[in-house]
């Protein structure tokens, strides 16, 4: 559905394009009656009809369950929803609070993509609280935790600047072969403004709020049976139990969170994003040791990676353990960092730490 800056989606006037994906486009909008800014996610016609996508249900649950829970401020809030255009109602529009740029974009602004350790700790605490809210209050498994889906809340200065920037400068008009003119808008996420103060001081970041977003491919923890061997998660952040089809649950989000923290601290992905799916279990075993036998035994895809006795098909000439990788980065408190990460990288999901256990870890103290 073509959308133009200045037009109205329901009672919201479009200011600029924030982003796009396979299922939707996202726009900065302003409610006409009170000039309140919001983000409108306009779903494609096919995703609006897709019975397997339940983003509206998840957002409604997240909004109403326990507003006093410590994790409530760290998940995206639904403001409104409606169908558009009025005559066909073919596109679902989800209106949420507007958020600033995501961690992937923000990290690119730093030398070697490494964020200050106090900020990483601050964001990690908050995201773990948000995940705890999703897991234990809403009974939701995110399934797509990654830097792209963790955003900063907007400051008052962000809001003022965004309202003033109407996005017209990002417009281009192209001509199709038949002469028809098509207007396109480049995406312009809201840039996060750095707080004043020393970047390595915890006080500098104390008022920054991180939020988990995009629950478009999430699932209810008690309704995942038919998806239990589905290849969820971005491949480089994929948990062992997902890789071999051993059934998965809430611990998959903890594994992905470990990958996120590793990348924020080191500036590098734990596993390169273009790595082939069939290589990932072997990389896991190089870093973390062999998969547990009981995990391999229940994996529907284990035959591709393991012998009948559950030993790896591939012979590893040498290992490159996480502990050695962390030591080589020069990160402060390397032993504590390693211990914290290894609790998220337990190969057996039953032994992986919970959000609460991780928040109590000494590294975050």
Q: What are 168's two structure tokens? A: 């017209």
**Alpha-carbon distance 133 to 71, whole Å?**
5
- Which pairs from 289-296 meet CB under 8 Å and 24+ separation? 289/319, 289/347, 291/240, 291/244, 291/347, 292/347, 292/348, 294/348, 295/240, 295/241, 295/244, 295/246, 295/347, 295/348, 295/349, 296/244, 296/246
Candidates 147, 98, 179; CA nearest to 258 is 147
Q: Which residues are annotated as a binding site?
A: 41
What lies within 8 Å, CB to CB, of 150 at 6+ separation is 102, 103, 123, 127, 210, 211, 212, 213, 260
CB 157 within 8 A of CB 287: no
**Is 158 one of the catalytic residues?**
no
DSSP 134-192: IIIIS-EE-S--SGGGEEEEPPHHHHHHHHH--SGGGEEEEE-TTS-EEEEE---PPPP
**Alpha-carbon distance 115 to 199, whole Å?**
9
Which residue is catalytic, options 34, 52, 80, 144? 144
CB 129 within 8 A of CB 355: yes
The H or E element spanning position 330 is none
Angstrom CA distances, 24 to 97, 143, 170, 253, stand at 17, 18, 19, 23
**Alpha-carbon distance 261 to 257, whole Å?**
6
**Alpha-carbon distance 104 to 149, whole Å?**
9
Residue whose entry in the numeric block shows the structure tokens 């973390």: 288
Q: What are 294's two structure tokens? A: 């009981």
Q: Which residues are annotated as a binding site for ATP?
A: 41
Indicate which residues carry an active-site annotation. 144
């Amino acid at each position: 559905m073509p959308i133009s800056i200045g037009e109205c989606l329901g009672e919201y006037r479009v200011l600029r394009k924030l982003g796009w994906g396979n299922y939707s486009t996202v726009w900065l909008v302003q409610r006409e009656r009170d000039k309140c800014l919001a983000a409108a996610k306009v779903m494609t016609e096919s995703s609006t009809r897709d019975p397997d996508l339940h983003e509206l249900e998840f957002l409604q649950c997240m909004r109403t369950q326990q507003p006093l829970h410590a994790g409530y401020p760290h998940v995206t809030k639904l403001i409104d929803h409606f169908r558009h255009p009025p005559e066909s109602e073919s596109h679902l529009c989800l209106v949420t609070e507007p958020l600033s740029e995501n961690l992937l974009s923000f990290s690119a602004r730093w030398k070697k993509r490494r964020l200050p350790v106090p900020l990483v700790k601050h964001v990690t605490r908050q995201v773990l609280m948000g995940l705890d809210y999703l897991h234990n209050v809403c009974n939701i498994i995110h399934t797509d935790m990654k830097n792209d889906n963790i955003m900063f809340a907007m400051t008052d200065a962000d809001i003022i600047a965004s309202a003033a920037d109407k996005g017209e400068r990002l417009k281009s008009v192209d001509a199709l072969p038949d002469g028809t003119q098509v207007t396109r808008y480049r995406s312009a996420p809201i840039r996060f403004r750095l707080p004043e103060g020393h970047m390595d001081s915890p006080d500098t970041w104390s008022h920054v709020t991180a939020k988990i977003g995009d629950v478009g491919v999430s699932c209810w923890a008690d309704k995942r049976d038919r998806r239990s061997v589905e290849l969820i998660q971005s491949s480089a952040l994929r948990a062992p139990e997902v890789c071999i089809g051993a059934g998965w649950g809430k611990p998959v989000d903890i594994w992905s969170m470990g990958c996120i923290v590793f990348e924020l601290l080191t500036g590098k992905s734990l596993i390169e994003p273009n790595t082939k799916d069939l290589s990932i279990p072997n990389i896991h075993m190089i870093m973390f040791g062999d998969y547990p036998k009981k995990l391999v035994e229940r994996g529907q895809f284990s035959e591709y990676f393991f012998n009948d006795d559950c030993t790896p098909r591939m012979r590893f000439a040498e290992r490159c353990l996480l502990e050695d990788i962390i030591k080589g980065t020069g990160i402060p408190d390397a032993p504590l960092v390693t211990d914290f990460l290894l609790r998220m990288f337990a190969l057996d999901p039953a032994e992986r730490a919970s959000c609460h256990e991780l928040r109590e870890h000494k590294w975050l103290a």
